[in-house]
A and B are shown apart, each in its own frame.
Chain A
Amino acid sequence: MPTLTINGMAVDVPQGTTILNAAKEVGVEIPHYCYHPMLSIAGNCRMCLVEVEKFPKLQTACSTVVTDGMIVRTETEKVRKAVTGVLELMLIHHPIDCPICDQAGECGLQNYYMKFGLHKSRYALEDKVHKKKVQDIGGQIVLDAERCILCSRCVRFLDEVTGTRELHFFDRGDHSEISIFPGRPLDNNYTGNLADICPVGALTSKDFRFKCRVWFLKGFDSICTGCSKGCNVDAHFKGDILYRLKPRWNDAVNQAWMCDFGRLTYKAMNEARLLTPIVRVEGARKAAAWGSLLPQVAYRLKEAAEKGGPDRVAVIASPQSSNEELYLLRRIATKLLGTRNLAFTHRVAGDGFADDFLIQPDKNPNSRGARLLGIPFGAAFDALVAAIAGGGIDALLLVGNVVGALSEEETAALLAKVPVVVQVGTNEGPVSKAATAVLPSASVAERGGTFTNHAGRVQRFRPGFPARGKAKNPIEILVELGNRLGAGWTFDGEASVFRALAETEAPFSGMTYESIGMFGQEI
């Protein structure tokens, strides 16, 4: 293990470490643009110059491998001057569009200018080279070639991660410009990541464009609900509106990336939400109060189970629910209602597209969790749907916004066979239109819990803000429903439910929220 000194601090690092990463170990931040931990090293931006004793010239910290006894200085006058010079060079032709640039507030140029630049421009405005602005280059990306600092992160991403190679540099010198070939737009499912890795505002998100200034946004740790991969995300919101999802680093799951489809899943948490309890009276939908609806719903379920026998009652679970919610729902079905009609399906409308990188065919975040908790699926679900269609069910408790892959008409026809349909759901949809009682549930952004991804990794998602409107945390709904059916539960929140779950469910035994931590834990 080579030992080196950085700004007078000695540090031991493994063979092959670069100066930039060694400096990180001792808390020294070396400015950089082209270096990205998940991409190959290009060494072209020259921002990371540092002084190394016995080297006649400054060295790029991102590409220089440490050797034993190396003495590195990052804060000398020589380094400062060089870095300021590099920055000035980059800004020569930069449009400084900050007022209209979505990157402002999280921009590498802005940040380093405030740290190392603060120079007055020595370049006449009319001499600036202009390049093409506002180009829709396909995918989720808008390109502004003028703002590009030619760091080649995007080129390397498309080369090394997606392998699709759509972006290239054209022309030479001052006129060098990043672009696509004419008529060959970005064509992969991971374009959104380009906006994340571009250190400046050259590649920005089409979806987030002009929606909000980034300094107004707050973030919280969440999990993407787009498929069973369970990519770790940072969800950004203002007030009670979500604005964007960004991948959160997790080497074991999504590294630093996420797919374009998943990136847009936040929209469902803003739009067409169920925000007030609804009851259907003689065909017409009416707003109801929690206080009267919950007892009514519990009474109806109990009544159906007592009159026709427990198997006249059915419960459909959802792989969009957390482990905690599924656990409570299973106990309600099997213990409190005593029915054998409990099932879920991972099927959803659509083609179940998948690839060999992140995107999984199962478009639910927690099908694995539902299976591990012993909730029947597959043939059991089909049998349950057949029983409902045959008029064999008097009351149905349904979690979710859809019934598997059934279309709106099919759902309406199916649910019309059941006199009492109680939905716990987040969004308007085929089920909310047909249900006799709708219990509005908090979205993933408004509640906490755990999902088990396709590989059996249990990961936590956290609430960002309180439930919108009159929606309630489904755990609260299920606990209250359970208690009205005679459970006597004292759970307060997801943590207490998870403790109970970990005690009784073998796959989760020994797990705690602490052991799951930031990055999840394998079953």
Chain B
Amino acid sequence: MTIGIKKVARPREMSFPESLYLVEIVKGLGVTMGHMLGNIVRQEGIKTIEYPEVRRRMPPRFRGKHRLMKRENGSPRCVACYCCATACPAKCITIVAGESPDPAVEKYPVRFDIDMLRCVFCGMCVEACPCDAIRMDTGWFTPPDDTREKLIFTIDMLLEK
């Protein structure tokens, strides 16, 4: 493919009425008012929602905030195999493995942090997990927060969801 050149028109000189601004402001307000009145008359047509009280239904394969699954007895299903951390392109999963008190489990995550600020929501971690221990099916975007530390999700936060 050859790369073509496209000329982009520069903003033209403003005409005299435009340069007064007043007329244009009134025109703009007209558009806003028009929408407002329209919304008052036909409320069901409003596009915005009261997030997070009201949530949109997400498509089934939407990749949202992560959660860690639990076994029947409530312990994490994750066995700290590091497959997710290995697959993660953003290197945002930090795992520290330990000896589980349950000898049938052997290995479990003492720490399991996901740095949500670095996560790119690619879903590779979910793909990589051999135990179906991590899912991204909560339907939530990462909620905003006021410090970076609060957006490093720990194992307790991830198990809660």
Name A residues whose Cβ lies closer than 8 Å to a Cβ of B: 98-100, 104, 133-134, 209-211, 213, 215-216
B residues near A211, Cβ cutoff 8 Å: 97
A residues near B131, Cβ cutoff 8 Å: 99
Q: How close is A449's CB to chain B, nearest CB, in angstroms?
A: 34
How far, in angstroms, from A98 to B129 measured CA to CA in the complex?
A: 12
Q: Which of A104, A133, A213 has the most CB of B within 10 A?
A: A213
Assess the B82–A134 pair: CB atoms within 8 A.
Answer: no
Q: How close is B45's CB to chain A, nearest CB, in angstroms?
A: 51
Assess the A213–B103 pair: CB atoms within 8 A.
Answer: no
How far, in angstroms, from A210 to B106 measured CA to CA in the complex?
A: 10
Contact of A210 among B83, B86, B103, B107 (CB under 8 A): B107
Can you spell out 10 A-B residue pairs with CB atoms less than 8 angstroms apart?
A99-B107, A100-B79, A100-B81, A100-B107, A133-B106, A134-B103, A134-B106, A210-B80, A210-B99, A213-B86
How far, in angstroms, from A104 to B99 measured CA to CA in the complex?
A: 17
Assess the A215–B79 pair: CB atoms within 8 A.
Answer: no
Given A134-B103, A209-B99, A215-B86; 5 other pairs, CB 8 A cutoff: A133-B103, A134-B106, A210-B98, A213-B86, A216-B82
Q: Is B130 an interface residue (CB 8 A)?
A: yes
How far, in angstroms, from A216 to B93 measured CA to CA in the complex?
A: 14
B residues near A104, Cβ cutoff 8 Å: 81
Contact of B79 among A99, A133, A213 (CB under 8 A): A99
B residues near A133, Cβ cutoff 8 Å: 103, 106
Q: How close is A402's CB to chain B, nearest CB, in angstroms?
A: 33
Contact code string B27-40 (vs A, CB < 8 Å = 1, else 0): 00000000000000
A residues near B99, Cβ cutoff 8 Å: 209-210
How far, in angstroms, from A98 to B130 measured CA to CA in the complex?
A: 10
Q: How close is B113's CB to chain A, nearest CB, in angstroms?
A: 16
Assess the B86–A100 pair: CB atoms within 8 A.
Answer: no
Interface residues of B in 12-46 (CB under 8 A from A): none
Interface residues of B in 58-92 (CB under 8 A from A): 79-83, 86
Q: How close is B103's CB to chain A, nearest CB, in angstroms?
A: 6
A residues near B81, Cβ cutoff 8 Å: 98-100, 104
A residues near B130, Cβ cutoff 8 Å: 98-99
A residues near B97, Cβ cutoff 8 Å: 210-211
How far, in angstroms, from A238 to B106 measured CA to CA in the complex?
A: 24
How far, in angstroms, from A210 to B79 measured CA to CA in the complex?
A: 11
How far, in angstroms, from A99 to B97 measured CA to CA in the complex?
A: 12
How far, in angstroms, from A134 to B105 measured CA to CA in the complex?
A: 11
Interface residues of B in 92-149 (CB under 8 A from A): 97-99, 103, 106-107, 130-131
How far, in angstroms, from A209 to B98 measured CA to CA in the complex?
A: 9
How far, in angstroms, from A215 to B87 measured CA to CA in the complex?
A: 12
Q: How close is A379's CB to chain B, nearest CB, in angstroms?
A: 51
A residues near B107, Cβ cutoff 8 Å: 99-100, 210
Q: How close is A191's CB to chain B, nearest CB, in angstroms?
A: 19
B residues near A99, Cβ cutoff 8 Å: 79, 81, 83, 107, 130-131
Q: How close is A150's CB to chain B, nearest CB, in angstroms?
A: 22
- Which of chain A's residues has its CB closest to B103's CB? A134
How far, in angstroms, from A179 to B103 measured CA to CA in the complex?
A: 19
Assess the B82–A213 pair: CB atoms within 8 A.
Answer: yes
How far, in angstroms, from A99 to B107 measured CA to CA in the complex?
A: 9
A residues near B106, Cβ cutoff 8 Å: 100, 133-134
- Which of chain B's residues has its CB closest to A211's CB? B97
- Which of chain A's residues has its CB closest to B98's CB? A210
Q: How close is A97's CB to chain B, nearest CB, in angstroms?
A: 8
How far, in angstroms, from A100 to B83 measured CA to CA in the complex?
A: 11
A residues near B98, Cβ cutoff 8 Å: 210
How far, in angstroms, from A97 to B94 measured CA to CA in the complex?
A: 22
- Which of chain A's residues has its CB closest to B105's CB? A100
Q: How close is A358's CB to chain B, nearest CB, in angstroms?
A: 30
How far, in angstroms, from A104 to B79 measured CA to CA in the complex?
A: 14
Q: How close is B84's CB to chain A, nearest CB, in angstroms?
A: 11
Q: How close is A146's CB to chain B, nearest CB, in angstroms?
A: 12
- Which of chain A's residues has its CB closest to B106's CB? A100
A residues near B86, Cβ cutoff 8 Å: 213, 215-216
How far, in angstroms, from A209 to B86 measured CA to CA in the complex?
A: 18
A residues near B80, Cβ cutoff 8 Å: 100, 210
How far, in angstroms, from A278 to B5 measured CA to CA in the complex?
A: 64
How far, in angstroms, from A278 to B40 measured CA to CA in the complex?
A: 73
Q: How close is A137's CB to chain B, nearest CB, in angstroms?
A: 15
- Which of chain B's residues has its CB closest to A215's CB? B86
Q: How close is B117's CB to chain A, nearest CB, in angstroms?
A: 21
Q: How close is B71's CB to chain A, nearest CB, in angstroms?
A: 14
How far, in angstroms, from A162 to B79 measured CA to CA in the complex?
A: 36
Q: How close is B74's CB to chain A, nearest CB, in angstroms?
A: 19
How far, in angstroms, from A211 to B81 measured CA to CA in the complex?
A: 11
How far, in angstroms, from A216 to B80 measured CA to CA in the complex?
A: 14
- Leading 4 A-B pairs by shortest Cβ distance: A99-B81, A100-B107, A210-B97, A213-B82
How far, in angstroms, from A34 to B127 measured CA to CA in the complex?
A: 36
Q: How close is A241's CB to chain B, nearest CB, in angstroms?
A: 13
B residues near A209, Cβ cutoff 8 Å: 99
- Which of chain B's residues has its CB closest to A96's CB? B130
Q: How close is B81's CB to chain A, nearest CB, in angstroms?
A: 3
Q: How close is A102's CB to chain B, nearest CB, in angstroms?
A: 9
A residues near B103, Cβ cutoff 8 Å: 133-134
How far, in angstroms, from A104 to B97 measured CA to CA in the complex?
A: 15
How far, in angstroms, from A98 to B131 measured CA to CA in the complex?
A: 11
- Which of chain B's residues has its CB closest to A100's CB? B107
Q: How close is B94's CB to chain A, nearest CB, in angstroms?
A: 12
Q: How close is B102's CB to chain A, nearest CB, in angstroms?
A: 11
- Which of chain A's residues has its CB closest to B110's CB? A210
- Which of chain A's residues has its CB closest to B83's CB? A99
Q: How close is A431's CB to chain B, nearest CB, in angstroms?
A: 33
A residues near B83, Cβ cutoff 8 Å: 99
Q: Which of A99, A133, A213, A216 has the most CB of B within 10 A?
A: A99
How far, in angstroms, from A213 to B95 measured CA to CA in the complex?
A: 11
- Which of chain B's residues has its CB closest to A104's CB? B81
How far, in angstroms, from A104 to B81 measured CA to CA in the complex?
A: 10
Q: How close is B101's CB to chain A, nearest CB, in angstroms?
A: 12
B residues near A215, Cβ cutoff 8 Å: 86
